[in-house]
Amino acid sequence: MVSQRFDRQMQAYGRWKSALIDGIERYQRWLDGSKMGDAEDDLRIYEVLDALKADRLTIAFVAEFARGKTELINAIFFSEYDRRLLPSEAGRTTMCPTELFWDNTEQKAYVRLLPIETRLSDTSIAEYKQEAIHWTNIDLDLTSPDSMADAFQEIVKIKQVPLDEARKLGLYSDADAHLHAQGGKTPSHIDIPMWRHALISFPHPLLKQGLVILDTPGLNALGSEPELTLNMLPNAQAVVFVLAADTGVTKSDLEMWQHNVKPLRSGHKKGLFVVLNKVDTLWDELKTSAHIEKTVQDQCQRAAQTLGIEPDQIYPASAQKGLLAKIRHDQDLLIRSNIPALENVLASEVLPYKQSLVREHILSSIGTMVKETHDLLASRLGSARKQLQELKGLSGKNNEVIEHLMKKTREEQVAYYKNVESFQGNKRIIQEQSKKLAMTINLAALDELVAQTRNSMSGSWTTHGLKSGMKTFFDGISARLSEVSEFADQLNRLVITIYRTFHQEHGISEIKPVLYSLTKYKQEFQQLYQEAEAFRSSPVTTMTEQHYVIKKFFISLVSHARNIFFKAQRDAETWSKAVMSPLVRQIKDHKEDMEQRLENLRKINESRDTLQSRIEELEKSCASLSKQYAEVKSILSIVNLPLEVMEEPAEATAKAS
């Protein structure tokens, strides 16, 4: 039994995405045919289509060990195999972050494992993913659930290494000694995970539609693998934080929540779910169901208070009973486990949220371009209609009137040409200045700042060194962004003036220029700063070998910041190439328009017979422009289409008792 609600919502999302891809492809063909686009536009459309086709939705499960993360994943997504597919046991089980997805490129089911020793290199997991050679591959036999479950056992494997080796890998520090002490003594060897990261490609219907599940190991994984905190979790569209009813909110649950989970969603409130799992441990058969219900509600209330959230943000559930109920097809137990209600919440919140993110991306990358085409078509339609009116007004008029009109149009034309000359001058200025803008957002300058930060940490890779280092780093970034912002504001003002003047002087319909804004990047830096700050002050940072973790953390932080800078710079470059294009096209259109009007008048002056045929031609072109205009409008409307609302089975919304 696949999670039906989730599956249906995922399908609705898939349909919306296909319609969108179709619409954009139609637009691409149309742009090609009408010769309205340029190479830059082509590239942008191509990139958007590529991103849409590779688009994925990630749900990450985060919690202390043994809260039931893996069991929840088994119950929600993998019950149809009639067994517990991913290993879930008492105590620590999942030893490395595990990504479940479907590899569309290779179209193959496998488990791939990255050896723990790769922690010694500076290469990130994201980079390792590009190099298959470093991963141990196990092909999955889909016909045998037993052999699949065996293969999945790899992700729980551990091995014994001497203390020194664990220290070198950043998995042991003297501060952890008490955790490993045996009979009051520090052992000579300790257990460490065998693998650093696992990738599982699996042809599950939801995974095939682009869903990615990220299961994380409980014990201090967030402290020892900064890439999880800085990249993987912030990039997930939803994070499920799991508590257990048999333990309540412990000190370590709370620390994890405050330092690693809550900051992930500090910028926006969406996509964070808290599950109170194992409520079956409260199912005391000697008590009434009303009493049990109240105990569950009280626990949720207390947990909410401790975490500082609303009680209705906590979803009580029993993953284990949910899985059992699905395997045994026991509907009553399934409802009681509350797993269907949890699936409903995930489906109805995560997918529309994901859709809004995709929509935002489309609008920011090609939205303005489509809008420009739309405005330009409106302007063409406007001038064609004006010409038509002018010609219709000419019937029955004598030569004198026509000659007067010709004279007036020629004068207009001369004035126009003069203005176009001065426009060319302005255009050059904008081009030079916007190139300068892209240069101000300079990656080399960022690298200088990184070097300076390293110096300010003066070789002390400690929490204290990191504190002063991060201050230097973020202060430097903020100073640079203010400089760029000021420059961009000046440039934007200039662009607005040039557009406005031209429109006013020639009575052409107004098109608003696209302005360059740094707001998005400033927000991303703010978010990065908050995540970094939470990580820096987190007690888990002190639990492992600091030197190792802090160095890794710093590398991740810099690569993230570099990425934001890179995007800002690339956008500035694209913007600088495109900012004047709508006006340039409009100027060209208006020039042709005036020439056409003169030509009309000349012909009509020679022979009145041409008047009617010109009117007919213009009527035809007005009709064709109207059609194109409607088409472009329809593309804009697909982007804004909401997901189809799904009917919910009534029983699925029942609450746990």
Ligand X SMILES: Nc1nc2c(ncn2[C@@H]2O[C@H](COP(=O)(O)OP(=O)(O)OP(=O)(O)O)[C@@H](O)[C@H]2O)c(=O)[nH]1
Binding site for Mg ion (CB under 5 A): 69-70, 93-94
Q: How far is CA 102 from CA 75, 191, 350, 449, in A?
A: 19, 31, 19, 40
Nearest to 430 by CA among 518, 521, 522, 516: 516
Q: Kindly state the greatest CA–CA separation across the chain.
A: 114
**What is the contact mask toward ligand X in residues 592 to 631, using x (rule: CB under 6 A)?**
----------------------------------------
How many chain residues are in contact with ligand X, going by CB under 6 A? 23
Comparing CB distances to ligand X, the nearer of 93 and 344 is 93
Q: How far is the CB of 72 from ligand X (least distance, A)?
A: 7
- HEC letters along 261-290: HHHHHCCCCCCEEEEEECHHHHCCCCCCHH
Q: Is residue 69 within the footprint of ligand X (CB under 6 A)?
A: yes
Q: Which residue type does 507 have? A: G
Q: Is residue 90 within the footprint of ligand X (CB under 6 A)?
A: yes
SS3 238: strand
Comparing CB distances to ligand X, the nearer of 190 and 358 is 190
Pairing of strands 211-215, 57-62: parallel
Comparing CB distances to ligand X, the nearer of 89 and 505 is 89
Comparing CB distances to ligand X, the nearer of 156 and 498 is 156
Q: How far is the CB of 196 from Mg ion (least distance, A)?
A: 16
For residue 92, the partner it binds in ligand X, Mg ion, none, with Cβ less than 5 to 8 A by kind, is ligand X
Q: Is residue 63 within the footprint of ligand X (CB under 6 A)?
A: yes
Comparing CB distances to Mg ion, the nearer of 39 and 90 is 90
Q: What angle do CA 490, 494, 497 make, to 5 degrees?
A: 140
Q: Are 391 and 618 in contact (CB under 8 A)?
A: yes
Q: State how far the Cα of 613 lies from the Cα of 618, in Å rounded to an integer.
A: 9
Comparing CB distances to Mg ion, the nearer of 5 and 69 is 69
Q: How far is the CB of 320 from ligand X (least distance, A)?
A: 3
Instruction: Single out the residue of 44, 56, 83, 92 in contact with ligand X (rule: CB under 6 A).
Output: 92
Comparing CB distances to ligand X, the nearer of 9 and 338 is 338
Q: Is residue 79 within the footprint of ligand X (CB under 6 A)?
A: no
Q: Exposed, middle or buried, 135 (CB in 10 Å: 0-12/13-18/19+)? A: buried
Q: Is residue 277 within the footprint of ligand X (CB under 6 A)?
A: yes
CB neighbours of residue 289 within 10 Å? 10
Range in contact with ligand X (rule: CB under 6 A) among 86-94, 146-154, 303-311, 611-619: 86-94
Q: Are 138 and 154 in contact (CB under 8 A)?
A: yes
Comparing CB distances to Mg ion, the nearer of 89 and 174 is 89
Q: Is residue 217 within the footprint of ligand X (CB under 6 A)?
A: yes
Q: Is residue 93 within the footprint of ligand X (CB under 6 A)?
A: yes
Q: Is residue 220 within the footprint of ligand X (CB under 6 A)?
A: no
Range in contact with ligand X (rule: CB under 6 A) among 68-76, 324-332, 567-575, 630-638: 68-76
Q: Is residue 476 within the footprint of ligand X (CB under 6 A)?
A: no
Comparing CB distances to Mg ion, the nearer of 69 and 614 is 69
For residue 318, the partner it binds in Mg ion, ligand X, none, with Cβ less than 5 to 8 A by kind, is ligand X
- 592 token code pair: 């042709």
Q: Is residue 218 within the footprint of ligand X (CB under 6 A)?
A: yes
Q: Are 284 and 317 in contact (CB under 8 A)?
A: no
Instruction: Single out the residue of 68, 193, 234, 465 in contact with ligand X (rule: CB under 6 A).
Output: 68
Q: Is residue 210 within the footprint of ligand X (CB under 6 A)?
A: no
For residue 281, the partner it binds in ligand X, Mg ion, none, with Cβ less than 5 to 8 A by kind, is ligand X
Q: How far is CA 343 from CA 9, 304, 561, 568, in A?
A: 11, 20, 35, 37
For residue 278, the partner it binds in Mg ion, ligand X, none, with Cβ less than 5 to 8 A by kind, is ligand X
Q: Is the dihedral of CA 321, 322, 323, 329 positive or negative?
A: positive
For residue 90, the partner it binds in Mg ion, ligand X, none, with Cβ less than 5 to 8 A by kind, is ligand X
Q: Is the dihedral of CA 263, 269, 272, 274 positive or negative?
A: positive
Q: How far is the CB of 68 from Mg ion (least distance, A)?
A: 8
Q: Are 655 and 347 in contact (CB under 8 A)?
A: no
Q: Exposed, middle or buried, 458 (CB in 10 Å: 0-12/13-18/19+)? A: exposed
Q: Are 304 and 310 in contact (CB under 8 A)?
A: yes
For residue 89, the partner it binds in ligand X, Mg ion, none, with Cβ less than 5 to 8 A by kind, is ligand X
For residue 319, the partner it binds in ligand X, Mg ion, none, with Cβ less than 5 to 8 A by kind, is ligand X
For residue 552, the partner it binds in ligand X, Mg ion, none, with Cβ less than 5 to 8 A by kind, is none
Residues shown for the chain: 657
Q: State how far the Cα of 299 lies from the Cα of 251, in Å rounded to an integer.
A: 16
- 520 token code pair: 């998005």
Pairing of strands 272-277, 136-139: unpaired
DSSP for 397-420, please give it. Answer: --HHHHHHHHHHHHHHHHHHHHHH
SS3 83: coil
- Site residues for ligand X, 278-307, by CB under 6 A, read 278, 280-281
Comparing CB distances to ligand X, the nearer of 339 and 369 is 339
Crossing angle of helices 443-456 and 546-578, rounded to 10°: 160
Comparing CB distances to Mg ion, the nearer of 277 and 344 is 277
Residues 6+ apart with CB under 8 A from 397: none
Residues 6+ apart with CB under 8 A from 445: 480
Q: Is residue 319 within the footprint of ligand X (CB under 6 A)?
A: yes
Residues 6+ apart with CB under 8 A from 369: 37, 41, 44, 45, 578
Range in contact with ligand X (rule: CB under 6 A) among 4-12, 277-285, 508-516, 644-652: 277-285
Q: How far is the CB of 153 from ligand X (least distance, A)?
A: 13
Instruction: Single out the residue of 10, 31, 57, 66 in contact with ligand X (rule: CB under 6 A).
Output: 66
Range in contact with ligand X (rule: CB under 6 A) among 17-25, 69-77, 355-363, 471-479: 69-77
Q: How far is the CB of 222 from ligand X (least distance, A)?
A: 11
Q: How far is the CB of 276 from ligand X (least distance, A)?
A: 10
Q: How far is the CB of 305 from Mg ion (least distance, A)?
A: 27
Comparing CB distances to ligand X, the nearer of 332 and 647 is 332
CB neighbours of residue 382 within 10 Å? 13
Q: How far is the CB of 92 from ligand X (least distance, A)?
A: 4
Could you tell me the end-to-end alpha-carbon distance of the chain, in angstroms, rounded to an integer? 22
Q: Is residue 571 within the footprint of ligand X (CB under 6 A)?
A: no
Q: Exposed, middle or buried, 258 (CB in 10 Å: 0-12/13-18/19+)? A: middle
Instruction: Single out the residue of 32, 47, 89, 164 in contact with ligand X (rule: CB under 6 A).
Output: 89
Q: How far is the CB of 296 from ligand X (least distance, A)?
A: 12
* Consecutive H or E run containing 62: strand 57-62
Q: How far is the CB of 5 from ligand X (least distance, A)?
A: 20
Q: How far is the CB of 336 from ligand X (least distance, A)?
A: 11
- Residues lying near ligand X in the complex (CB under 6 A): 63, 65-71, 88-90, 92-94, 217-218, 277-278, 280-281, 318-320
